[in-house]
Chains A and B, each alone.
Chain A
Amino acid sequence: MSTPANNGPKSAFNTFNLVAGAILLVGLVLTVLRFTQGIGPVTNLDDNNPWGLWIGFDLLCGVALAAGGYTTSAACYIFGLKRFHSAVRPAILTAFLGYALVVFALQYDLGRPWRLPYPIFVSQGTTSLLFEVGLCVMLYLTVLFVEFTPAMFEWLGWKKIRKVVVKLTLVLTIFGVVLSTLHQSSLGALYTIAPSKLHPLWYSTYMPLYFFVSSIAAGMSMVIFEGSMSHKKLHRMMDEEYLKHHDGVVFGFGKAAALVLFGYFFIKMMGVAYDNNWHYLVSGYGLLFLTEMLGFVALPCFLYGVGVRDRNLSLIKKASIITVLGIVFNRFNVSMVAFNYHLPSSERYFPSMMEIGISVFIVTLGVVIFRFITTRMPIFFEHPDYKGDH
């Protein structure tokens, strides 16, 4: 188990560990509460609002932001953009952790979480879009795990099995893209069943397409964002190969994200035109919609464009942060703000502190695991025994 140069932070009692530890502790308490008292006492969910923050953030945002896995590996292995190679492993790891945490978070929201395998193994409700989401997420989680294993096998020194898995790269990548296309879009399609509950500016029969396209922008922005975060915090774990390509990856993804955001803006507007919803724009919800479209789609699209043209790294990184926030904003709007818009405000939903606490707990858990793995396994560097072997 050779790990180059460096072995994690020096003292176990740094700020990060203390804060993370406190959050995890609170999370554990909340977990006990949730599973002994039930969903009701810890959440603000009710009969009108059966889905809240745990679906809106943990599931919808989690899956969208983990889209970096399939976008990066597709760019590298299918479109042959070899310069993105160094970004593949971090992206795959993030995606794997992201999905694992999505499934983990779901345990809190489900009434009988231990029955999660039921839709696949006991009683298949194939007319349900949720069935498709479930099946794809399960398969994709498996694919991501297999895609991640080479790093683990290198760390463990299991050469033979690593070789087998590496041979499967292309097949796995294609599977990943197919499964991602399906479930990313199905998450949007989940809402197509409720036209009477979702505000017309967000409801569209094109929702599956919107969710899919925006997931690409989200995935790429996450790769840029998370890359620059890690660059600051985990620099010591990166090898020359990774560092040499880092800027190139940022520019490449920045350019692609600009194009995708542009296309996304366009199809969203076409949706408004198609359903002739223009008159809704001059209302409270219209303002919200315009904020989302102009502030979180058009603006980052423009910033990405300028950033790439001027070779301005920091501008691109800013654009990536706005895009990531924009995706969260959009998923919140669809699942919570514009959902049940017809109800009087007294019957609307706002998450409880405990719901927020669980979500924070899960994100923290993700960061801690990410650090654990990247400070040990060959994620940001090539393992010395396997140099140039890809």
Chain B
Amino acid sequence: MLRRTFLGMLGATCVGASLPAGAEAAGKEFKGYPGSKGVLFDATRCIGCRKCEAACNKVNKLPKPEKSFDDLAVLDTKRRTDAKTHTVVNKYGTPEHPVFRKSQCNHCLEPACASACFVKAFNKLPNGAVVYDESVCVGCRYCMVACPFEIPTYEYDEPLTPRVMKCDMCAPRQAKGQLPGCVAECPKEALIFGTRDELIKIARERIRRNPDRYVDHLYGEDEMGGTSWLYISGVPFNKIGMREDLGTKSAPELTAGALAAVPMVAGLWPVLLGGIYAVTKRNSKVADEERKEAVESAIAKASSEAEKTLSEALEKADVANKRQIEVEVKKAVEDALKPVEPEESAESGEAENSEKEES
């Protein structure tokens, strides 16, 4: 009974774990849902006005910040998203030539956060948005460990119902046909909303037309398997706080190997271990039998020798001495038989000794 339940559950593990591994193999070709939306950020157009931050704060009904969004002095310190801020604009470059970059969830095509979450609290919607469902979140924060862009944040001060917080590309607004808050507010059109395919074309076109203005790279096209947010810039991306060493492998690809090994281990190990057990059992059985035989033959030898001595002695001795000799020979036989169980007697002796020593 017990055994079968365990086997069943283990089987479930294998199947459960092997399915996504298979799905991932196909997922390597995954280039996003057709027609899914995204946003193109053009760092050459952004003026660091923080209007997008303010809009995001408003549409997501986030708590008011200490300093107002008109205060541009905050740009002088590097900030990151937190539980009350889904997007931040940071200032880079020199004071004469500042470059601004907005950061928020990049809505990866194959999100690391979703792949890491063990309760499927993250979902990539067909419209491109990666959304979070707090109703199942356990609060392990593996999503935060996994996200290469350091985006998800946590309500650490919330004792009972802490949530993971991040931009959802205004999925609810999109559903109503509205633009994401930040895009709608941007006065400089540094943000463009559209299908990802269109955005890629627009970005390419801009780079092609103004090769002096842009570096020749569309950030987000391939990074970490591709993201729905795309970036073009006039300065190298690592100069505006974006990592260029992330590679093009998506998160599921990174973990596919480890996941694929699971059914192999679960399938092969029991067989191998069972085999080893069978061999060792057989060995010890053979050893046991051999020992038994050896003991038996030793006994046989000992008693036959003893008998021989007895009969020889009997022949020599006269009747009067017979009885006494018999007794003595019996003793000899007993002595001869004794070494048959040497372990026990030796052990108890040793144990006694050691006990004495220790006490």
Contact A125 B117 (CB under 8 A): yes
For A195, the chain B residues whose CB sits under 8 A away are 247, 254
Q: Is A192 an interface residue (CB 8 A)?
A: yes
B12 shortest CB reach to chain A, Å: 8
CA gap between A235 and B148 in the complex, in Å: 52
Measured CB to CB, the closest approach of chain B to A349, in angstroms, equals 12
Tell me whether B273 and A50 are in contact (CB under 8 A). no
Q: A50-B145, A119-B138 are in contact. Are A178 and B270 (CB under 8 A)?
A: yes
Contact present for A110 and B254 (CB under 8 Å)? no
- What's the minimum C-beta distance from A76 to chain B, rounded to whole angstroms? 10
Report Cα–Cα, A341/B118, bound state, in Å. Answer: 26
User: Which of B60-68, B89-97, B197-205, B255-263 has 4 or more CB atoms under 8 Å from chain A?
Assistant: B255-263
A112-153 interface (Cβ within 8 A of B): 112-113, 115-116, 118-119, 122-132, 134-136, 139, 143, 146
Q: Are A181 and B254 in contact (CB under 8 A)?
A: no
B13 and A194 contacting across the interface, CB-CB below 8 Å: no
- List chain A residues, Cβ under 8 A from B258: 129, 185-186, 189, 192, 208
Against A, the Cβ 8 Å flags (1 = close, 0 = not) of B176-207 are 00000000000000000000000000000000
Residues of B within 8 A of A36 (CB): 159
Decide: B162 and A111 in contact? CB cutoff 8 A.
yes
State A74–B20 Cα separation when bound (angstroms). 31
Name the A residues within 8 Å of B155 (CB-CB).
111
- Could you list 11 A-B pairs, sorted by A, with CB under 8 Å? A40-B156, A113-B139, A125-B119, A129-B258, A129-B259, A131-B17, A134-B118, A139-B9, A168-B2, A194-B145, A196-B243
In the complex, A275 has a CB within 8 A of chain B: no
**Are A110 and B140 in contact, with the CB atoms below 8 A?**
yes
Given the interface pairs A39-B156, A47-B144, A139-B9, the reply to whether A111 lies near B138 with Cβ below 8 Å is: yes
Given A194-B145, A197-B145, check contact A35 B159 (CB 8 Å). yes
Q: Does B309 contact A (CB under 8 A)?
A: no
A78 to B350, CA, bound (A): 30
As a 0/1 sequence over residues 275 to 310 of chain B, the CB contacts with chain A under 8 angstroms (1 = contact) are 011001101100000000000000000000000000
Contact of B254 among A50, A124, A192, A342 (CB under 8 A): A192
Q: Chain B residues near A186 (CB, 8 Å)?
A: 258, 262
Q: Smallest distance from the beta carbon of A52 to chain B beta carbons, Å? A: 10
Q: Give the interface SS of chain B, mostly helix, strand, loop or mixed.
A: helix
Tell whether A46 pairs with B9 under 8 Å between CB atoms, given A129-B255, A181-B265: no
Q: Which of B17, B120, B265 contacts A123 (CB 8 A)?
A: B120
Nearest-neighbour CB distance to chain A for B211, whole angstroms, equals 29
Distance of A101 from chain B, by nearest CB (Å): 18
Does B347 reach chain A (CB closer than 8 Å)? yes
Nearest CB of chain B from residue A54's CB, rounded to whole Å: 11
In the complex, what distance in Å separates the CA atom of A122 from the CA atom of B136? 8
**In the assembled complex, how far is the CB of residue A165 from the closest CB belonging to chain B, in whole angstroms?**
9
- Whether A127 touches B20, Cβ cut-off 8 Å, given contacts A41-B157, A139-B9, A193-B116, is yes
Q: Does B269 contact A (CB under 8 A)?
A: yes
- Measured in the bound complex, the distance between the Cα atoms of B11 and A135 in whole Å is 12
| Shortest beta-carbon contacts, A-B, top 5 | A111-B139, A80-B280, A40-B156, A189-B258, A50-B141
Contact between B136 and A115, CB atoms less than 8 A apart: yes
Closest B residue by C-beta to A207: B258
User: Which of B10, B156, B252 gathers the greatest number of chain A CB atoms within 10 Å?
Assistant: B156
Tell me if A128 and B159 are in contact (CB < 8 A): no
Task: Indicate which residue in A74, A112, A126, A136 contacts B162 across the interface (CB closer than 8 Å).
Answer: A112
B262 adjacent to A131 (CB under 8 Å): no
Q: Contacts A40-B156, A118-B136, A125-B119 given: A47-B82 contact, CB under 8 Å?
A: yes
Residue B246 lies at the interface, judged by CB distance under 8 Å to chain A = yes
Binds B, one of A10-18, A90-98, A169-177: A169-177
How many A-B pairs have beta carbons closer than 8 Å: the answer is 214
- Judge whether B55 is part of the interface by a CB distance below 8 angstroms: no
In the complex, how many angstroms separate the beta carbon of A139 from the nearest chain B beta carbon?
A: 6
A123 near B142: Cβ-Cβ < 8 Å: no
Given contacts A111-B154, A118-B119, 10 further A-B contacts (CB under 8 A): A38-B159, A47-B82, A110-B138, A115-B137, A116-B138, A126-B17, A128-B116, A131-B118, A179-B10, A192-B254
Bound: A100/B22 CA distance, A: 33
- Binary contact readout A17-55 vs B (1 if CB under 8 angstroms, 0 otherwise): 000000000000000000111111101011110110000
Given contacts A80-B284, A126-B19, A129-B258, contact A47 B140 (CB under 8 A): no
Q: State which residues 224-256 of A face B: CB under 8 Å.
A: 235, 240, 243-244
**Chain A residues whose C-beta falls within 8 Å of the C-beta of B16 in the assembled complex:** 124, 126, 131
**CB–CB A193/B255 < 8 A:** yes
Is residue B351 contacting chain A, with contact meaning CB distance below 8 A? yes
Contact indicator B137/A111 (Cβ below 8 Å)? yes
A360 at interface by CB-CB < 8 Å? no
Contacting pair B20 A126 (CB below 8 A): yes
Q: Which residues of A have CB within 8 Å of B10?
A: 139, 175, 178-179
Pair B257/A205 contact, Cβ less than 8 Å: yes
CB-based contact A128/B138 at 8 Å: no
A166 within 8 A of partner (CB): no
Distance from B321 Cβ to chain A, minimum over Cβ atoms (Å): 45
Q: Which of A126, A130, A240 contacts B351 (CB 8 A)?
A: A240
Query: Taking the complex as formed, is A313 at the interface, i.e. its CB lies under 8 A from any CB of chain B?
Result: no
Which chain A positions have C-beta within 8 A of B76? none
Please report which residues of chain B, range 83-135, place their CB below 8 angstroms from some CB of chain A when the two chains form the complex. 83, 112, 114-121
Name B261's contact: one of A174, A185, A196 (CB within 8 Å).
A185
Question: CA–CA, A191 to B160, complex, Å?
Answer: 28
B157 touches A193 (CB 8 A): no
- Nearest chain-A residue to B142 (Cβ)? A130
* Bound CA span A47–B83, Å: 9
- Considering the chains assembled together, what is the distance between the CA atoms of A234 and B17 in angstroms? 44
State the CA gap A131–B136 with chains docked (Å): 14
B80:A177 contact, CB within 8 angstroms: no
Residue of B nearest to A212 (CB): B265
Question: CB-defined interface of A349-377 with B at 8 Å, one 1/0 digit per residue?
Answer: 00000000000000000000000000000
